Structure 1
């Protein structure tokens, strides 16, 4: 669809929500966070005059400051709503009475490409069974949208889906399957091809990925909201990690869950009808999506990879509502099983998000849509800014420029900045600790504290490694690399020492070199940088350990970072045995992504 100027026929905001006021308050809160940090930066760098290295440090820090402020502002607003409102999701996305009329026909669309169908099908069986038990079978059709090209994978996929369909009860939800002849446009092209040629008798489409899992009540809540608000084009539900026995996804998703709950609740309060789309665990209205969210090619002829947010801003631009329901209930996904897959996913997402530079100034978008594209790029651009700041600080120390730096304010700046960037998950943990009823599904407040402590240590070690990897990936993109959008490995696995070393040796060498340089200057400077450098230095053993069955079984046995879904899945006596990871053959880290 051409990018043309579009008239915004209506903002469609309910009168009592006052979006302009909410956004002004959000901006004010961001300034309240950012200005003291900028003042503290000045206090750290200004004594003794400015060196060129210090100017670089200041410029790089100021580049990261918007992200820090956004983290704090979203999390604070989210925490206030989570603590003050009995049903925060309903406060963010108000439910209204259902209008009269027939129910909306909904296609459950599952995008697959070279997937292990034995993992894809059981969650879908549970969803269909729940919808059928609720008497909703006549409203839904399950569609598998396949982009699988390998003949062996395709044959196995066909057989698995045929067996799944044959096992469904008579009169149940129909199961359909189609495979494209080519993969034009990747996932976005797959979805639009389905909407163009196979969805004519449906009004809504529930979008699921191969690792998605949704409950029948969650799906029916989304359908209800779409029927209640005919100007709602897309409703994105919050997504949390499926129960994971392996250490890496287990620890990662424990913090991500707490952070996203606070972040999405706060963001939903001020973004209102200009919400995000994350590509799955969401429901869309087919007619406006097909008309307004059709994507063209980029100027170089390539397809848009991170399509979901672009589709959302296209819907915003034409006056359709896009909302995020910040509810965890019944909406799950799988997370990368080990550090190599996590880093590979970051590379894919970074390549997609950086394409937004071609789109952000196109005509027809609203200011909020442009900001969302900028924010998506900022998430990845902060990585080289952080590492550039550290390297500039080391350069300044080596020439003696840090001799007059006040260590107290520097330590305060480092701590305050870390607290700001970690604010969503820290305040998410705080919500659970402040509300015993919400901590109870996690095993109580003591269990939340144990999980939070383990996750904070884990993230302190892994996040600097991720920042290095993002920086290297952006560097390759700047030099013209095109990594594409490869299929993902979702299976649990171990990581061999040799594979971890081959992947992470550059990260380790950078950490060691930075530590050695600081050690020659000041023990205090090395101590302040140690939390940032420990992860890269330990990246190889960290990668192996967090994929190992031993550590994983220990975490499960002690219920550290256990989620409510895990604790509810099995009786207490059999939970450890049920969740304990089995030994699996080690696979080559370079073969996945």
Structure 2
């Protein structure tokens, strides 16, 4: 690592704030609030809720409204408002992109004056993929002639000791490939305190003072040199910008589920992103990666405190990116999106179960934001971002309750006799009745509003010649969109139950861990899939039988939900099935332009990763690798920080056990068999213990 240039990053107060803490604007002429589009979005939302509520009331008010019908009406309005907001936002995005390419390659600026850090936090990832990707980014920036303005940092929080040494092996190989003058650096933290947020905070407080901006990546992120340089130029042109976010498009996916997500991201994503970019304006959000951040703004405004109480609602802030954006905006910096910059990419989970595992962590992080809604000094749209994230997970149990409420009403109408003699005088008994014709019309309107953003995305995508040709032509795009809607409709009820389960677990006080994501395509053992989804299938069967007993029409109305649940096990298996995704690819379906003409950076990253993998950096035991490679041993020792002094008399159990096992072992293989993962980590951190292990390897 280069010499440290510390930068203070104090934890920000949540319960106190005043306007005197807001910085003055340096370029007020650039600050334009999009009032017109905001009025349109929120007026459209209000009108949609009013009309939808009136129609739903007309459905249930026949013969008087019962308590259950009032509950159904309330749940409908909440869920309807969610899709109505997305609909209104997508209209804005549609007209913003109509007649224009959804994304385009930015022209490089004539010059840059800033110093920028490219920061990639990593946690137990496959080193060849990660280091191959960062090399591709670095090479493209160098080829554009802006290399002197960018330094690359791989900041590791890896806890697996063998992966840690694999990272160092990959780093040594990368530096050899790039040459001695390459400004590519690596740091491993002994303890992953505060996880990813703490990893970035550690970088900012130790090295941030040397840089004007930093570009944050995830381990699966890729950004072209053009995109990175364009972000730096945008920051230089806007002295009040604190965070500028790009739209990361999904690429390199081949399983069925991942290809569905990839197609949706490329075809529908730009319209949705353009909409929120327009009406959010400079009060936008941050997704944690593929964005550029002004170092001063982040250091002075985004220091995260721990929340009061215990997890899942207290302690470490998990979905830190939303909070960092809100705090940076509170300080007076702009946060906005440039969604039309081409060259920002990421990957997605390969299966439904992989998505649900990641989603569980996101669910906890977003529900935790309920404790932050009252933070002093936040801008209204920052609170709306929190609410949006919270409701994105509460929507699932609310949808489930709405379905259960509808079933309960049908049961009541079918099996419970009306009470003719009540305490209150009435000419007719009060029992649930519905206006079937009006209900059918409302269902059609709801479906149209739900699908409209996808239609808008399709129109924009097909009207652009390059996008249309790159996706196989208009006919294949339409067939792909039809398949995507069908598959998404079948996956939706499964995710409804998965997310509902996550919400209930979190409300019950059960916190989640932080496991590394699976990046590669591949299937999950069928036994695991059956165990995960057997209750979903059982619930689908019970719902089908119950609906048929009540009324065949109810079963027909619920058929998409019932079908998804009944098929949960085969659907989940199929979601991670590589052959199914590749079969669609051979048919030219679910194609995106980035597959027809792969971006050069994706090709380079893949080739770099294969070359590193061929060197064996991902394989083998870390102690064996260090013992047989003196150069790696010396490099590892150089990268170790100075050992902090230990108080006399303080016993570290893992260190004592590691020392005892190394002393007792006669061969390195024997020591490796005895050492636990924690003990092996201690050996890698301690020069004296490491020397004992290397000596065993030479015996």
- Bigger Rg, structure 1 or 2: 2
CA distance in 1, matches of 2:116, 2:108: 20
CA distance in 2, matches of 1:279, 1:16: 24
Q: Name the stretch that deviates more: 1-10 or 486-495.
A: 1-10
The structure 1 residue matched to 2:198, chosen from 189, 201, 211, is: 189
The structure 1 residue matched to 2:499, chosen from 466, 470, 486, is: 470
The alignment status of 1:548 with 2:577, answered yes or no, reads yes
Aligned residue in 1 for 2:462? 433
The alignment status of 1:327 with 2:340, answered yes or no, reads yes
Alignment gaps of 5+ in structure 2? 1-10, 415-430, 601-606, 608-699
- Residue 153 of structure 2 aligns to a residue whose secondary structure is strand
Q: Deviations over 1:83-104 (max 9, x none)?
A: 05x36679xxxx9998x99611
Aligned residue in 2 for 1:277? 286
- Residue 444 of structure 2 aligns to a residue whose secondary structure is helix
Aligned residue in 2 for 1:34? 49
RMSD, aligned CA? 2.3
For residues 315 and 553 of structure 1, do their structure 2 counterparts lie closer, same or farther at Cα, with a shift above 3 Å needed?
same
Q: Deviations over 1:425-464 (max 9, x none)?
A: 3321122234444422222212211221121111011111
For residues 339 and 322 of structure 1, do their structure 2 counterparts lie closer, same or farther at Cα, with a shift above 3 Å needed?
same
CA distance in 2, matches of 1:568, 1:248: 22
8 Å Cα contact 1:89/1:265 also seen in 2: no
8 Å Cα contact 2:127/2:163 also seen in 1: no
The structure 1 residue matched to 2:382, chosen from 369, 373, 377, is: 369
Aligned residue in 2 for 1:515? 544
| Cα shift at 1:170 | 5.2
Q: Deviations over 1:337-373 (max 9, x none)?
A: 1111011111111100001011110112111111111
CA distance in 1, matches of 2:543, 2:483: 26
8 Å Cα contact 1:384/1:468 also seen in 2: yes
Q: Name the stretch that deviates more: 113-122 or 289-298.
A: 113-122
CA distance in 2, matches of 1:35, 1:279: 36
Aligned residue in 2 for 1:126? 136
The alignment status of 1:309 with 2:322, answered yes or no, reads yes
CA distance in 2, matches of 1:305, 1:524: 44
CA distance in 1, matches of 2:599, 2:225: 20
CA distance in 1, matches of 2:403, 2:540: 11
The alignment status of 1:52 with 2:67, answered yes or no, reads yes
| Cα shift at 1:258 | 2.7
| Cα shift at 1:553 | 2.3
- Residue 36 of structure 1 aligns to a residue whose secondary structure is helix
8 Å Cα contact 1:292/1:314 also seen in 2: yes
| Cα shift at 1:108 | 0.6
8 Å Cα contact 2:60/2:432 also seen in 1: no
- Residue 121 of structure 2 aligns to a residue whose secondary structure is strand
Aligned residue in 2 for 1:67? 82
| Cα shift at 1:14 | 4.2
For residues 457 and 432 of structure 1, do their structure 2 counterparts lie closer, same or farther at Cα, with a shift above 3 Å needed?
same
Aligned residue in 2 for 1:588? none
8 Å Cα contact 1:337/1:492 also seen in 2: yes
8 Å Cα contact 1:141/1:174 also seen in 2: yes
8 Å Cα contact 1:43/1:409 also seen in 2: yes
CA distance in 1, matches of 2:473, 2:111: 44
Alignment gaps of 5+ in structure 1? 572-577, 579-593
Aligned residue in 1 for 2:483? 454
8 Å Cα contact 2:470/2:591 also seen in 1: no
The structure 1 residue matched to 2:146, chosen from 129, 136, 143, is: 136
Aligned residue in 2 for 1:178? 187
| Cα shift at 1:213 | 0.9
Q: Name the stretch that deviates more: 519-528 or 232-241.
A: 519-528
For residues 570 and 166 of structure 1, do their structure 2 counterparts lie closer, same or farther at Cα, with a shift above 3 Å needed?
closer
Aligned residue in 1 for 2:158? 148
Aligned residue in 2 for 1:5? 17
Q: Deviations over 1:97-139 (max 9, x none)?
A: 98x9961111110010000112222222221111111111111
CA distance in 1, matches of 2:18, 2:446: 40
| Cα shift at 1:227 | 0.8
CA distance in 2, matches of 1:361, 1:489: 36
CA distance in 2, matches of 1:472, 1:160: 40
CA distance in 2, matches of 1:175, 1:272: 35
The structure 1 residue matched to 2:169, chosen from 140, 153, 159, is: 159
Q: How many residues align?
A: 565
CA distance in 2, matches of 1:337, 1:284: 30
Matches within 5 A, 1:69-108: 69-84=84-99, 86=100, 103-108=113-118
CA distance in 2, matches of 1:291, 1:314: 10
CA distance in 2, matches of 1:155, 1:524: 62
8 Å Cα contact 1:40/1:413 also seen in 2: yes
Aligned residue in 1 for 2:650? none
For residues 412 and 122 of structure 1, do their structure 2 counterparts lie closer, same or farther at Cα, with a shift above 3 Å needed?
farther
8 Å Cα contact 1:60/1:385 also seen in 2: yes
CA distance in 2, matches of 1:13, 1:20: 16
Aligned residue in 2 for 1:587? none
| Cα shift at 1:141 | 0.8
